[in-house]
Amino acid sequence: MSGVERRRVWTDDQKRLLVAAACEPGASVAEIARRADLRPSQLYRWRRDLAQPVSPRFAAVTVSSQPEPEPVAGCAVVLEIGGAVLRIAADAPPALVAAVVRSLRR
């Protein structure tokens, strides 16, 4: 089939069920898409479209001319995003922290 008759209309509930199935541990997006007669990219798009937007939150920052204190062992930054908690050590390399934060945006 090709053309307009090939297009299907999926309800939000159907999309949520398929996206939830694809997010299960050990699930294969390709297999779930194949069973639903979809392309895997469609499931990824639905997952992105159905995701709850995260409102940015800002922390107060104080700039001081005082020298920086020595880093304290333990966590310097704690990020809570969508129920997940990311703790960043005070001595973590900046490049590693940047890479981890970038990966959270995906």
Q: Where are the domains of the chain?
A: 8-50, 75-104
Residue 105 predicted with pLDDT over 80: no
| 50 contacts 29 by C-beta, under 8 angstroms | no
Q: What's 73's DSSP letter?
A: S
Percent of the chain at pLDDT exceeding 90: 25
pLDDT tens, position by position, 37-66: 999 999 999 988 887 666 667 777 677 777
Q: Note whether 26 and 40 are within 8 A (CB).
A: no
What pLDDT band is residue 30 in, cutting at 50, 70 and 90? very high
Helix (H, G, I), strand (E, B) or coil at 64: coil
Average pLDDT of the residues in 2-17: 80
In angstroms, the first-to-last Cα distance of the chain is 34
What confidence tier does 3 reach under pLDDT thresholds 50, 70, 90? low
DSSP letter for each residue of 3-28 = SGGG-----HHHHHHHHHHHHSTT--
- CA 85, CA 105: separation in Å to the nearest integer? 14
